[in-house]
Amino acid sequence: SKLRERFPYCLVTTPESLSLLLTYSDTRQKLSHLKCIIIDEWHELLGTKRGIQTELCITRLRTWLPKLRIWGLSATLGNLAEAAKPLIDHRPHKLIAANQDKKIEITTLIPDEIESFPWSGHLGTKSVKRVAKQLEKAQTTLVFTNTRSQAEIWYQEIREAKPDWAEDIAIHHGSLSRDERGLVELGLKDGSLRCVICTSSLDLGVDFSPVDQVIQIGSPKGIARLTQRAGRAGHSPGVVSKIICVPTNALELIEFSAARDAWHNKEIESRTLLKKPLDVLTQHLTTIVLGEPTSPEELKKEIFSTFSYTGLTEAEWNWAIMFLTNGGPLSAYPQYQKAEIIDGLLTVTNKRTAQLHRMNIGTITSDTSVLIKFAGGRSLGSVEEGFASKLKTGKQFIFAGRRLELIRFHKLTATVRPATKTTKGEVAIWGGSKMPLSSELSHAVARSLHGSLESPELKAVAPILKIQKSWSALPSDKELLIEFTRTREGEHLFIYAFAGRLVNEGLGALIAFRLSRASGESINVTQNDYGFCLGAAKGLSLDEDVLKRALRTENLLEDLLECMNTAEMARRQFRYVARVAGLLIPDMPGKRKPTRDLQVSANLLFEVFTRYDPDNLLLEQSRREILEHQLELGRLQTTLSSIQERPFRLIETRRLTPMAFPLWADRLSAFLPAADAATRLERMLNELQKPGSR
């Protein structure tokens, strides 16, 4: 409210806050002298609903101020010209690229011992002592992990390795309270902290001059991500940025080497643009007419001029207006009628509708979180409701770098105190899928296996590659390597597509479905970034004709929809689409709805639409998002087409190869109890490492 009374000379804000400003009737007058908008780190918004929200807000401001200048900034974009399109709005523009390459030094902390048969996460914190020694060489170090849980674990491990640094080490991730994060950021700025373990919460926009070293734990999964994090050190023109990579399994050494080569070859990932999401559109239309009643024709002209909605059809536009004013099959319920037409203008007259819309503006969707606070009232941050609901009074857990004990859990608030006993507590966990390897890095990895093997990382894994080549062959992006192996668990086909985890998951499910349909055998699938494993009691073989038929591009969509249970996936996705569209209201005055209530409401709405409005465009969008984002249909189609053009290399192996072992280990973990899987894993390792096996 203070901001709206007097606008500053320069305002640093977010897409959500800008949208909120547009809901007030006096914003046009208060922004009448606006000259320029600068969008920093545009690559992080591009291809997301937050990016679309930003684009729509800019279009609105351009409607008011046609001479408004727009700058988009990014240091890590592979498709600069395409990335500019959502910002330039078909207007004259300039692309400015630096003529000086940023100098980045990428090195790897190579383990003293490397297992010949690695699997995911096996090295992990084994490297903590060497990481601790590396910390001593710098003034301030950022240690990046890929997940919040991993950050919590590494924070504890580094504190144990460096007990004399207890006050000089901190943790930073998105689930900590703003105050907690602010204290850490202040310590980075004034140089009082020697080490901060963090996630992507410190990826962007930070300029902490004392930071002179960055350490990356585990694969960065992308070239741009690695270089973005490297740039947090030496964050000044002409200064070399240094990043040290720490593998969590031996195969990640190959990824680090490939990422460095790709960076030197300027192979940076492109961002795919998002097209006309209707949930964002309906939310934005409510935002506009709440701030300024507008005729549908004026709105149509404005929206159709927005780059991401240039493909919007008349039918889709009419549906959006109907959804806003009528609610479709929900027309009997006034709360779903967001706006009405009065004297030819769309407007919002209901004060409660206005209040709830302002409270729930935004496209960031997540499950309901539980506030973690001390009995004295100080907030530490939040964890997911699913994790907190399993904690019992007196239970210890680790969060915000602290060992905490639960006092009580009431109304989405967990009251805690510092744990006095040193019993091992459970580390807070957050849901989410594993990040896939990017296409560019996947191809770089496949190429590096057939290069000179001169880098320190590839020299370190040379013994592994030698075994792989001796027992089978090295995978390549020039041919498709398929291995067939029998174990006590049955028959296995290992197919190395190098397409990233999500695409390999889709490919595996598709091929298992097609083979199972032909043979009648039950086939299970496990996958990683390099390939996937098909497992069955019997019925698998290296029949090239059978495999080529299973890998055909014909009937791809139909078979994928049938084998992936996309109907249930779309039901889950609909909850997030409905949240953005304003059908679900998580934030209410004075309270927040629990996840269970939102799930019930979303399921009810899904059933109503499916039964009475099966062509509802939000249902269609939910299905499309599943295909495009969770299954990466476009990338899957490209991969299948590429496979069709490559020769197959079919090899039957007497034992699991180093490339096959991680897939087999993941399969074991998925289908056996932890204790049984560990026993079987150890037995298999002993068999593979016997001198006679080589």
The model's pLDDT over 528-572, given as tens digits with 9 standing for 90+, comes to 999 999 999 998 999 999 999 999 999 998 998 888 777 788 898
Q: Count Cβ atoms below 10 Å from residue 65 Cβ, excluding itself.
A: 16
Dihedral of the alpha carbons of 286, 291, 297, 298, in degrees to the nearest 10: -130
Predicted pLDDT of residue 482: 98
Q: Is the pLDDT of residue 484 over 90?
A: yes
Query: Residue 1: pLDDT band by 50, 70, 90 thresholds?
Result: low
Query: Residue 324: pLDDT band by 50, 70, 90 thresholds?
Result: very high
Predicted pLDDT of residue 432: 65
Query: Residue 289: pLDDT band by 50, 70, 90 thresholds?
Result: very high
Looking at 323-362, which runs of residues are DSSP E strands?
340-342, 345-347
Q: Is the pLDDT of residue 669 over 80?
A: no
Higher pLDDT, 511 or 436: 511
Predicted pLDDT of residue 258: 94
Q: Is the pLDDT of residue 283 over 60?
A: yes
Average pLDDT over residues 154-173: 95
pTM of the shown model: 0.89
Q: Is the pLDDT of residue 2 over 70?
A: no
Predicted pLDDT of residue 564: 79
Half-sphere exposure of 457 (CA within 13 A, CB side): 25
pLDDT digits (tens, 9 = 90+) for 3-29: 777 788 899 999 999 999 999 999 999
Contact between 166 and 412 under an 8 Å Cβ cutoff? The reply is: no
Predicted pLDDT of residue 118: 67
CA-nearest of 550, 556, 610, 599 to 576 is: 599
Predicted pLDDT of residue 17: 95
Query: Residue 225: pLDDT band by 50, 70, 90 thresholds?
Result: very high
Is residue 646 classed as helix, strand or coil in its secondary structure? coil
Burial grade of 465 (CB within 10 A; 0-12, 13-18, 19 or more): middle
Query: Residue 240: pLDDT band by 50, 70, 90 thresholds?
Result: confident
Q: Is the pLDDT of residue 119 over 70?
A: no
Nearest-angstrom CA–CA distance, 471 and 183: 54
Contacts for 665 with CB less than 8 Å, ≥ 6 apart:
119, 120, 681
pLDDT digits (tens, 9 = 90+) for 431-442: 765 778 888 899
Contacts for 228 with CB less than 8 Å, ≥ 6 apart:
75, 76, 203, 204
Average pLDDT over residues 370-385: 91
Q: Is the pLDDT of residue 245 over 70?
A: yes
Predicted pLDDT of residue 605: 95
Contacts for 173 with CB less than 8 Å, ≥ 6 apart:
148, 151, 198, 199, 201
Predicted pLDDT of residue 590: 80
Contact between 6 and 31 under an 8 Å Cβ cutoff? The reply is: no
Predicted pLDDT of residue 271: 87
Average pLDDT over residues 258-266: 92
Q: Is the pLDDT of residue 49 over 70?
A: yes
Q: Is the pLDDT of residue 207 over 80?
A: no
| 326-340, 342-356, 680-694, range with the lowest pLDDT | 680-694
Is residue 587 classed as helix, strand or coil in its secondary structure? strand
